A and B are shown apart, each in its own frame.
Chain A
């Protein structure tokens, strides 16, 4: 490609600006997580802690039940991811392979559900779950997360199903395999990578979710990490910055790691068929 040096320089400068913009808040968070209180109260904060300390992490664990919250988050996210994928895959198959009224309605719901303001959903949901005795319970939250992650799970999985050559299924059918057997023994294995990617994405979404958890979980021993994090902010919005930053940093790690694992697949999935990058 013929691109002038000046243009190239400009492009690199722009890229650098993007990098700084994207990275600096996270760097700052890490910096604060390792700063002792005196440095935090200083009127002239520095990027690099002068006397780095791990005290904030210790204090964070002392102040709030982070381990329990992490376990709750893990349970909610795993539960939501696995169940969502289990029930979404068959339906996605129908959506991809048929064009009956059912498939149309499902597709319609997927699109329309993007427009729901959660608030219209959460009030009745709260009252429904209350009658089921599922307020302040992680299984109750899992149910909500499952339904909440279904639209995108359906959409993604339907895309993966379409990518599976129909001839394979037809061949199996000719061999006399029943529909269910075809599905389980032919289609499912081919879908597996897509299913894993979808599950992990659902996992992250649930791990990060805040609104439903805030409304539905009422006691600290049931609450998930994002809700517990807001507890570091005390009366009148006073925050204990050090432990807050430390805990926030820790809460981010799992989703960063999982995301790094599937990033290629998610973005790659979208880019498939495009010119090699």
Chain B
């Protein structure tokens, strides 16, 4: 959501003069240092350390010394079908959550942009999934999905659709069930971002189009969407990355089960490190994940810049 604050930035005065005008950056360093040190020590440093670890056989226990093993971890990883399966599940999960999340959020944002009566209620309710700890979200949906005591099966039984589904532990249903929770949990944030974007679209254009007799769909395509596009792209890309890296929901809901069907890459690497104690191997997994996510991020940035250029033309 953070990126979304950008569109509201008041028009800047012509850029340029400030850098030369200020004294050489001594003052700036002084202001930046308090944040810079923790960033270097606890974020950049560990990241580099983590990359180094990936080339060692670091593991838990103190009986074996840690050695450099070159790229052996990466070779193992290449043959680790379970990891790639997990990676595939991670992609299915990330896309499977992000796309419905976006569509549903877009629908809700369009509704909330109308002059409807229960809008305040929808807003109030929308904060629930957003504000809730992920662990509680997971627990809550466990209660919903519970085979016997859950409301979902009971509702299905009442509707005569048959009951007794073992949602979270059925091999076929676990991943879809978890994806629904992911959509639920991330929808509000996306909605708010899109709503912000929507309210930035010039209403006059809308009205002009309506006067011209353009239907709702055409108005959406020609007026709303072009204005919304940069926001939509940004939030979607961010969602994709966040979802790919998500952990707590699945940890609480299924802990990767049944049979590894919901073992997202994060969970996989967590287990490798903190359950089996294979720190080096897990770090190698982390590196591979970073590399692939960076590619995603690069694609997103390129797309976003292009989108913004277009948006700029419009305004």
Contacts and interface: CB of A to CB of B under 8 A. Distances in A.
Interface string A179-196: 110010000000000000
B269 A117 contact: yes
Interface in A60-110: 86-88, 90-91, 93-94, 97-100, 102-103, 106, 109
Given A11-B114, A147-B43, A43 B148 contact: yes
A146 B140 contact: no
Interface string A23-54: 11110110010000000111111010000000
A125 B42 contact: yes
B132 A90 contact: no
Interface string A4-21: 000000011011101101
A99 B19 contact: yes
Contact of A277 (B41, B199, B247): B199
A217 interface: no
B302 interface: no
Interface in A259-277: 259-260, 263, 266-267, 269-275, 277
A119 B247 CA distance: 10
B53 interface: yes
Interface residues of A, number: 110
A166 B17 CA distance: 13
Contacts of B114: 3, 11
A168 interface: no
A229 B135 contact: yes
Given A25-B140, A28-B143, A115-B293, A98 B45 contact: no
A124 B53 contact: yes
A1 interface: yes
A186 B238 CA distance: 35
Interface residues of B, number: 116
B203 A275 contact: yes
Given A15-B118, A102-B25, A270-B196, A255 B19 contact: no
Contacts of A174: none
A195 to B, nearest CB: 14
A96 B50 CA distance: 31
B31 interface: yes
A120 B50 contact: yes
Interface stretch (B32-40, B67-75, B77-85, B170-178): B32-40
Contacts of A229: 133, 135-136, 139
B262 interface: no
Contacts of B38: 87, 143, 146-147, 150
Interface string A138-154: 00000110110011101
B95 interface: no
A211 B246 CA distance: 10
B260 to A, nearest CB: 15
Contact of B8 (A23, A258, A272): A272
Contacts of B151: 24, 28, 45, 47
Contacts of B242: 114
**Interface SS of B by simple majority:** helix
A94 B28 contact: yes
Nearest to A29: B140
A263 B127 contact: yes
A156 interface: yes
Given A118-B247, A229-B135, A256-B128, A241 B146 contact: yes
A163 interface: yes
B122 A40 contact: no
Given A115-B293, A225-B133, A241 B47 contact: no
A91 B245 contact: no
Contacts of B92: none
A22 interface: yes
A135 interface: no
B265 interface: yes
A98 B34 CA distance: 17
Contacts of B287: 120
A76 to B, nearest CB: 13
Interface of B: 1-6, 8-10, 12-13, 15, 18-19, 22, 25, 27-29, 31-32, 34-36, 38-39, 41-47, 49-51, 53, 104, 107-108, 111, 114-119, 121-137, 139-144, 146, 148-151, 154, 157, 184, 187-188, 192-193, 195-196, 199-200, 203, 238, 241-242, 244-245, 247-248, 251-252, 255, 265-266, 269-270, 273-274, 279, 282-283, 285-287, 289-290, 293-294, 296-297, 301
Q: Which 5 A-B pairs have the closest CB atoms?
A: A120-B286, A274-B199, A259-B131, A90-B31, A124-B49
